Amino acid sequence: MKLTTKGRYGLRAVIDLAVNYENEAVALSQIAERQGISVNYLEQLIAKLKKSGIVDSVRGAQGGYVLAMPPEEISVGDILRALEGDLNPVDCYELNSNEPPCSNADTCVTKYVWKRISDSINAVVNEIKLSDLVAESRRVQAEAGSTQVNQPKQTC
Amino acid sequence: MKLTTKGRYGLRAVIDLAVNYENEAVALSQIAERQGISVNYLEQLIAKLKKSGIVDSVRGAQGGYVLAMPPEEISVGDILRALEGDLNPVDCYELNSNEPPCSNADTCVTKYVWKRISDSINAVVNEIKLSDLVAESRRVQAEAGSTQVNQPKQTC
DNA sequence: GTTAATACCGAGTAAATTAATAGGGATTAA
DNA sequence: TTAATCCCTATTAATTTACTCGGTATTAAC
């Protein structure tokens, strides 16, 4: 019941992009350095974000990535689903009709549990907008002030 | 962001135990057969449930397992945490102080996201009691009636 | 028009985790 | 005494994760 590094790194990358965006595209190498993630791996994550329409790319020298929408229109749910796939606790036809129907559907009672978990997760992440995290980031950065050291390695 | 078979099989096993409990211990072999899970694997799951005080065992011939408490006192959260470990979306000191503190904690903004997801998952599963699922199981079994076939293999 | 900086793409791989299987020991009702 | 059961640990196959690697395409700057 854990997110993978795709979701964790990818969300940090999008926040980084939003915070450091100033009319110009941000190169992946910059995000990678600030966040302590390899460029190659980050490429794979940002490809998913682009495919989902969350970021746009600018090719060529001085290129990079920009948000495809204002941060208040992007939810954490959009970002995490782009990176992780659906946020359901199980692969179940009742939650996602792409899954094969379950032979046991008639008498299955656990599906109600999975549905409620899925609904609650998605409700929470849909409610949190990227703009909320950007604002929070600016706040904590200001508080941390000049005493901060650069320690990009982190556990969460 | 998926539960493992431990959580899925284990929850089904506990529901089976509760539904089929009638003053006598239920042998693992019976649960295994009804649920289409191997006895050996089920042993590992039930060991976790016993360790967490959710079931008690009766050793020897005619032995088996019984719920350690009435079904209304056991939540799905208790069961899933016994089987899966914590239900947090990431390993983060802010959610579980057994984790190592994060070098980045001062300026981390994603931790608020993880906290809200964790809280919502745990709230939902703590609210659903085993007795609710037993009642639901009896209802759907009655509806399915005699037309049901035995198809223990299932995807969720 | 060359160069350097960038995005884009797919294949491969090592490590970790999951999902079992296997086999023997301990306990107890019949 | 036996058979049914729980109990415990080790091993293994399959899958997934978390990358790395090496190349191609595009474009701004010079």
Selected residues 133-152 of chain B with any CB under 8 Å from a CB in chain A = 133, 136-137, 140-141, 143-144, 148, 151-152
The pLDDT tens digits of the residues spanning B62-106 come to: 999 999 999 999 999 999 999 999 999 999 999 999 888 888 888
Structure tokens given for A79: 């970002």
CA nearest neighbour of B133 among B14, B34, B8: B14
Separation between Cα atoms, residue A71 and residue A134, nearest integer Å:
8
How do strand A64-67 and strand A55-58 relate by DSSP bridges? antiparallel
Smallest Cβ–Cβ distance between B156 and the set A92, A106, A121 belongs to A92
Structure tokens given for B119: 């809280």
Q: Which helix (H) or strand (E) holds A56?
A: strand A55-58
How do strand A64-67 and strand B55-58 relate by DSSP bridges? unpaired
Which residues are paired to B58 by β-bridges? B64
Smallest Cβ–Cβ distance between A112 and the set B3, B136, B152 belongs to B136
For residue A58, give how far its alpha carbon lies from the nearest alpha carbon of chain B (Å). 27
Single-letter amino acid, residue A11? L
pLDDT beneath 50: ranges in chain B? 151-152
- Give me the mean pLDDT over the A14-26 stretch: 92
The pLDDT tens digits of the residues spanning A54-108 come to: 999 999 999 999 999 999 999 999 999 999 999 999 999 999 998 888 888 888 9
Tell me the whole-structure pTM to 2 decimals: 0.94
Write down the pLDDT at residue A152.
46
Q: Which residue of chain B has the CA closest to A5?
A: B90
Q: What is the 3-state secondary structure (H, E, C) of B3-72?
A: CCHHHHHHHHHHHHHHHCCCCCCECHHHHHHHHCCCHHHHHHHHHHHHHCCCEEEECCCCCEEEECCCHH
What domains are there in chain B, each with its CATH number?
Answer: 5-86+129-143 (1.10.10.10)
Distance B21 CA to C29 C1' (A): 19
